[in-house]
Amino acid sequence: MTSDAENNFMDDRAFVIIQHHFEISGAAADSWVNQGHRIVRERTFMKEPQVSIVLPAYNEEAAVGAVIDNIHRAMKNTHYSYEILVVDDHSSDGTVEVVRSKNVQLVERPERGGSGASRRTGILCARGEIIVMMDADGSYEASDIPKLLEHFPRYDQVNGARTSEQGSLKFLRAPAKWLIRKLACYLADTDIPDLNTGFKAFKKDIMKKYLWVLPDGFSCVTTMTLAFLTNGYAVKYIPTAYHPRIGKSKFHPVKDTLSYLNTIIRMIMYFKPMRIFMPLAGFLFLFACVKSVTSFWWTQTLQESDIIIFMTAIMMASLGLMADLIVAYHRS
Ligand SMILES: Nc1nc2c(ncn2[C@@H]2O[C@H](COP(=O)(O)OP(=O)(O)OP(=O)(O)O)[C@@H](O)[C@H]2O)c(=O)[nH]1
Ligand SMILES: [Mg+2]
């Protein structure tokens, strides 16, 4: 509760929720009941679970009930103890009522913050050592959760890589996603079969170190993957089905695609700056060489612009080295 990462989110109003959560998970389960929440199975609340399944939800009354039932069905036959946490963001439909009627924990954010902000809240409220995240819209297969979990503790993060694109506005989103994924693969220097899957499991302690970098919006899931990849953690992908969502999508094609792009650049700048600065410096250096030779050939002298491009290449390389030094210093 008092670590730096957690303190950073007090302005996020998550603090209120965490307080609330600790009340629930401590001895004061009665106060939870008094606040109008129903405890269906005490075990879920009183014992520390091994796995926390977090569902960010905004206006998902049509799907969230079935998603919760499917998760219970999938987890029932495993040896893991678990809890389900639904993080609601001031839904204006009946999401909260549906969630309250189920055997789960409901976390209500005091103000709407976005799916990423809700995921951060979910991470802070989760009691399990492993957190599973999925959408509350019925698009992911809850029956695949055990397949993600079986790769722990060997891997630090396991992602459900979708075998088909069934998202809303897929004709607009698919090419943009492909380009962004290719850029991310180059920058992170590894193959990423599905960069923005919302179906993932990870070790809570590791993710908590990177809470400060998780954005409020949809690109949060991309950031979670890149944070692990660029910091040398073991990330695995398993194929999973993806169905068209139930209910209305909250994804904004232009705003959210731009924020994905921004996220990738930001993550690489934070964790692997040389992957951006060095190719840029190399390109400028080569360009300056070719331009200088051409200038010399025609005018027997170098032009001012040739010197400026050389200097810019050197500055880029120096900036890359300095950024890398800062990253290395912080890691140490
Ligand atoms: N708490 C919270 N959850 C949100 C918010 N916006 C979206 N979500 C949830 O985040 C999950 C992903 O949102 P979706 O609208 O399904 O976006 P998507 O999965 O990228 O796109 P689709 O292909 O349409 O499913 C869903 O469970 C949403 O209910 C929000 O502002 N707050
Ligand atoms: Mg979805």
The alpha carbon of 245 and the centre of ligand 1 are apart by a number of angstroms equal to 10
CB of 194 closer than 6 angstroms to any ligand 1 atom: no
The alpha carbon of 323 and the centre of ligand 2 are apart by a number of angstroms equal to 36
What 75-79 contacts at long range (C-beta under 8 Å, 24+ apart), as own/partner pairs, is: 75/51, 75/145, 75/146, 77/146, 78/146, 78/149
From the list 233, 135, 226, 116, the residue with the least C-alpha distance to 180 is 226
pLDDT tens figures, 244-300? 888 887 777 778 788 888 888 888 888 889 988 999 999 999 999 999 999 888 888
Q: To which H or E segment does residue 237 belong?
A: strand 235-240
Please tell me whether residues 73 and 178 are part of one structural domain. yes
- Ligand lying closest to the C-alpha of residue 244: 1
Please tell me whether residues 165 and 290 are part of one structural domain. no
Percent of the chain residues past pLDDT 70, beyond the cut: 83
User: Which atom of ligand 1 is found nearest the CA of 139?
Assistant: 25
Q: What is the pTM of this model?
A: 0.78
Which residue among 89, 115, 162 has the greatest number of ligand 1 atoms within 8 angstroms of its CB, and so is best to mutate?
Answer: 115
User: What is the distance between the terminal CA atoms of the chain, rounded to a whole angstrom?
Assistant: 24
CB of 168 closer than 6 angstroms to any ligand 1 atom: yes
Which CATH number belongs to the domain containing residue 267 in this structure?
3.90.550.10
Please tell me whether residues 78 and 205 are part of one structural domain. yes
Q: Which two tokens stand for residue 235?
A: 């990330």
pLDDT tens figures, 181-211? 888 888 888 999 998 899 999 999 999 999 9
- Nearest protein Cα to ligand 1, atom 23: 167
Range of the domain at 38: 4-271
